[in-house]
């Protein structure tokens, strides 16, 4: 009997809760230049409507109201102030405010933001305003619901939260289509280490066309990635994909970031980075940029965090494609290194697979200012001095290549880079003896090859190739056991003095060899390959330097 009465009470309580929730819905419907507010008589709120601009003041201190916004206006806004938590429901809303924030939640409490399933919502603000975001939260928003939200920040940020910002597992898709500053920005501005954070447990976030950072957890803020997918493009000089002012934690989910800006970063932590799960893919096209960077920033005793700079990779799988160079300052000559992973202190690799494809720069791509500690996991680094990125091409073919150096077959190609070229463009770099060649056309173009000594960081002269290669989409040339053979010299053609470059100094060295004042130490003086060293080699060398 007790169980029966308990069941009745539970059902009654559930029905009362449902009735209360239904009665707490305050509807704001936009229709062009006007807006309509529908509220229950018992709701303790007052409001004012001026055209399509709606201002609501909530007086409640005990009841969570649901504000359901729908309809469309290109000259409207929604502003809410109050002192109690609330729910903001976006149910098919297009809202553009040409003079300020489109949604302005001036309430320092929790705001549940529900994207209604099956709905598409578009929010944008005005240009050159003093407001912080197209969508502004004084408190801490928590996103959920399977709908879609598109936001453009025409003055500063697209979405701005003064405290933490959270995306729950049920969150649908958020598109940041553009922002003058950050796509998503959160942080109180008072150094609250515990309550400043960006946290993502689900959903899809796409961010592009931002003037600074894609997502910024500011002012000692943390960043916790537990699930979901982040796709971001960084175009700004010194911009960042995911930036946090203290600790970056990743335990799941997928991060895809393309870095086009120079001296920029895909992921930046100003104290420490802990990669415990999930997957990171980074494509770097900007000179001097980084994949993951951890700074040794002194934060302060008030936060319980002092100095840092350590990156720990436990089980996150990371892939980096780098097709850019170090950045040289035109005024000072200072060089900013391009890196896949760079730690100001220790770089610790315990588990997880790390793959680095670096084409264009020979910098140390797995870098620590103090020490690299590898306890487990796999690390693969393939690099070459020529810029190349497979994603720039539409068609491909496969070849297998081998290397003969001074008539001796090279069994281990790990110390050498082999590149394929159509004209002056690098269209493929070998992985061991497997070389996929790419093109944007199906034209039968001639393919040539170059080789590079990675240990000594200098080119190797390719004298001949065992067979001609013409690009043919989808074709296979050679096999793993019977590859195309590149017959090479172990020195740079024309580098008579062995300094790794072909310059006028080599002409002087060659003349001294002919005059008997020096010997051909590097076996590179026979420029025209006629098995003798004469004045004819000087003419050939001069033409080589002049590009003839």
Whether 522 and 457 share a structural domain:
no
Q: What is the CATH number of the domain that holds 483?
A: 2.60.40
Residue-level pLDDT at 441: 96
For residues 358 and 232, what is the distance between their CA atoms, to the nearest angstrom? 20
Mean of pLDDT over the chain:
90
User: Which string of DSSP letters, residue by residue, matches 494-528?
Assistant: T-TT-SSS-SHHHHHHHHHHHTTSS--TTS---TT
Q: Does residue 458 sit within a domain?
A: yes
Per-residue pLDDT averaged across 452-458, rounded?
A: 87
Q: Are residues 478 and 520 in the same domain?
A: no
Same domain, 467 and 534: no
DSSP states along 48-112: EEETEEEEEEE--SS---EEEEEEEESSEEEEEE-SS-EEEEEEEEEEE-SSS-SEEEE-SSEEE
Classify residue 478: in a domain, yes or no: yes
Contact predicate 507/540, CB 8 Å: no
Structure tokens, 91: 């149910």
- pTM, entire model: 0.87
97 vs 21 pLDDT, higher one: 97
On whether both 480 and 452 belong to a single domain, the answer is: yes
Do 480 and 511 lie in a common domain? no
Report residue 4's pLDDT band, with 50, 70 and 90 as the boundaries.
very low
Q: What is the pLDDT of residue 98?
A: 96
Residue 489: what pLDDT? 81
Q: CA distances (Å), 220 to each of 191, 200, 345, 532, in order?
A: 6, 18, 19, 69
Question: What whole-number distance in Å separates Cα of residue 296 and Cα of residue 343?
Answer: 8
pLDDT of residue 62: 92
The stretch 473-483 carries a mean pLDDT of 96
Q: Are residues 484 and 406 in the same domain?
A: yes
Q: pLDDT: is 188 or 477 the higher one?
A: 477
CA distance 202 to 157: 22
Tell me the two tokens of residue 261.
Answer: 């800006």
Closest CA to 382 of 406, 347, 411, 418: 418
Summarize the confidence of residues 513-524 as an average pLDDT.
72
Indicate whether 13 pLDDT > 50: no
431 in any annotated domain: yes
What's the pLDDT score for residue 17? 38
Q: Which domain holds residue 512?
A: 504-545
> What is the tens place of the pLDDT at every residue in 96-148?
999 999 999 999 999 999 999 999 999 999 999 999 999 999 999 999 999 99
What are the tokens at 494?
Answer: 């024309």
- In this prediction, residue 502 has a pLDDT band, given cuts at 50, 70 and 90, of confident
Q: CB count, 10 Å around CB of 354?
A: 23
- Kindly state the tokens that stand for 460: 């190797």
Q: Is residue 477 part of a domain?
A: yes
Residue 499: pLDDT over 90: no
pLDDT tens-digit series, residues 336-390: 999 999 999 999 999 999 999 999 988 899 999 999 999 999 999 999 999 999 9
Are 449 and 532 contained in the same domain? no
C-alpha to C-alpha distances, 452 to 355, 388, 497, nearest whole angstrom: 21, 15, 18
Confidence of residue 23 (pLDDT cuts 50, 70, 90): very low
What integer pLDDT is reported at residue 12 of this predicted model?
Answer: 40
Does 400 fall in a domain? Answer: yes
Locate tokens 């315990």: which residue? 350
Name which of 180-189, 287-296, 319-328 the model is least confident about. Answer: 180-189
Strand partners of residue 460? 451
The alpha carbon dihedral of 363, 367, 370, 376 has a sign of negative
What pLDDT is stored for residue 545 in this prediction?
A: 85
CA 464, 466, 468, 472 torsion-angle sign: negative
531 & 473 share domain? no
Asked if residue 520 is part of any domain, the answer here is yes
What is the domain count for the chain? 2
Convert the pLDDT of each residue in 28-73 to its tens digit: 999 999 999 999 999 999 999 999 999 999 999 999 999 999 999 9
Residues 437 and 515 both lie in one domain: no
Q: Can you tell me the mean pLDDT for 275-298?
A: 94
3-state secondary structure at position 23: helix
Contact between residue 413 and residue 388 where contact means Cβ atoms under 8 Å apart: no
Taking the C-alpha atoms of residue 486 and residue 85, their distance in angstroms, rounded to an integer, is 71
Rounded-to-integer distance, Cα 469 and Cα 488, Å:
17
**Whole-number Å distance between alpha carbons of 29 and 8:** 38
Q: Look at residue 307 in the predicted model and tell me its pLDDT.
A: 61
Token pair belonging to 259:
């870095």
Asked if residue 330 has pLDDT above 90, the reply is: no
User: Do 478 and 407 sit in the same domain of this protein?
Assistant: yes
pLDDT confidence band for 8 (50 / 70 / 90): very low
Helix, strand or coil, per DSSP, at residue 336: strand
Closest CA to 131 of 157, 92, 105: 157
Q: pLDDT for 170-210, tens place per residue?
A: 999 999 999 999 999 998 655 555 678 999 999 999 999 99
pLDDT exceeds 90 at position 406: no
Task: Assign residue 14 a region (left: φ > 0; alpha: ψ between -120 and 50; beta: otherwise).
Answer: alpha
What's the pLDDT at 15? 41
Q: Which of the 8 DSSP states describes residue 158?
A: E
Higher pLDDT pick, 254 / 510: 254
Cβ burial, residue 395 (10 Å; 0-12/13-18/19+): middle
Q: Between 226 and 308, name the one with better pLDDT.
A: 226
Tokens of 215: 């997502």
Same domain, yes or no, for 534 and 469?
A: no
SS3 content of the chain, % helix, strand, coil (to 5): 10, 45, 45
484 and 508 share one domain: no
**Residues 205 and 238 sit within 8 Å (Cβ to Cβ):** no
Q: Would residue 27 count as lying in a domain?
A: no
Cα–Cα distance between 297 and 410 in angstroms, integer?
Answer: 46
Asked if the structure places residue 407 within a domain, the reply is yes
Find the Cα–Cα–Cα–Cα dihedral 416, 422, 425, 427, rounded to 10°: -60
Q: Is 430's pLDDT higher than 90?
A: yes
Domain boundary among 462, 488, 514: 488
């Amino acid at each position: 009997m007790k169980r029966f009465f308990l069941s009745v009470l539970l059902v009654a309580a559930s029905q009362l809760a449902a009735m209360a929730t239904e009665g707490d819905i305050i509807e704001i419907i936009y229709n062009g230049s006007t807006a309509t507010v529908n509220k229950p008589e018992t709701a303790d709120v007052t409001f004012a409507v001026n055209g399509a601009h709606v201002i609501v003041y909530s007086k409640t201190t005990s009841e969570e109201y649901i504000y359901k916004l729908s309809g469309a206006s290109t000259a409207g806004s929604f502003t809410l102030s109050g002192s109690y938590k609330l729910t903001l429901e976006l149910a098919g809303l297009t809202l553009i405010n040409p003079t300020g924030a489109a949604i302005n939640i001036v309430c320092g409490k929790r705001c549940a933001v529900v994207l209604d399933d099956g709905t598409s919502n578009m929010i944008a603000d005005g240009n050159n305003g003093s407001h912080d975001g197209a969508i502004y939260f004084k408190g801490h928003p928590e996103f959920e619901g399977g709908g879609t939200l598109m936001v453009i920040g025409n003055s500063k940020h697209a979405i701005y939260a003064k405290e933490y910002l959270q995306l729950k597992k049920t969150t649908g898709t958020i598109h940041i289509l553009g922002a003058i500053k950050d796509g998503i920005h959160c942080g109180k501005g008072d150094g609250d280490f515990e309550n400043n954070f960006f946290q993502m447990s689900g959903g899809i976030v796409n961010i592009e066309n931002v003037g600074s950072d894609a997502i910024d957890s500011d002012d000692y803020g943390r960043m916790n990635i537990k699930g979901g997918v982040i796709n971001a493009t960084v175009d700004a000089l010194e911009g960042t994909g995911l930036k946090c002012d203290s600790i970056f934690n990743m335990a799941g989910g997928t991060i895809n970031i393309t870095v086009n800006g120079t001296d920029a970063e895909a992921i930046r932590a100003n104290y420490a980075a802990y990669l415990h799960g999930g997957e990171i893919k980074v494509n770097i096209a900007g000179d001097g940029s980084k994949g993951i960077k951890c700074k040794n920033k002194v934060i302060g005793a008030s936060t319980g965090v002092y100095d840092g700079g350590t990156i720990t990779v436990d089980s996150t799988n990371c892939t980096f494609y780098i097709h850019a160079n170090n950045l040289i300052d035109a005024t000072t000559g200072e060089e900013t290194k391009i890196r896949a992973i760079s730690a100001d202190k220790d770089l610790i690799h315990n588990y997880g697979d790390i793959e680095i494809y670096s084409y264009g720069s020979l910098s140390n791509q797995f870098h620590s200012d103090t020490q690299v500690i590898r306890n487990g996991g796999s690390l693969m680094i393939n690099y070459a001095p020529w810029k190349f990125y497979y994603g720039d091409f539409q068609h491909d073919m496969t070849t297998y290549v081998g290397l003969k150096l001074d008539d001796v077959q090279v069994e281990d190609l790990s110390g050498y880079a082999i590149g394929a070229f159509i004209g002056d463009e690098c269209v493929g770099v070998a992985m061991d003896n497997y070389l996929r060649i790419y093109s944007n056309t199906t034209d039968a173009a001639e393919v040539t090859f170059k080789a590079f000594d990675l240990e000594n960081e200098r080119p190797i002269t390719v004298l001949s190739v065992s067979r001609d290669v013409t690009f043919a989409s989808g074709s296979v040339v050679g096999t793993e056991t019977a590859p195309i053979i590149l017959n090479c010299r172990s020195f740079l053609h024309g580098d008579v003095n062995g300094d790794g470059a072909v310059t006028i100094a080599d002409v002087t060295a060659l003349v001294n060899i002919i005059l008997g004042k020096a010997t051909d130490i590097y076996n590179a003086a026979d420029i025209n390959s006629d098995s003798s060293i004469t004045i004819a080699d000087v003419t050939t060398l001069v033409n080589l330097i002049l590009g003839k």
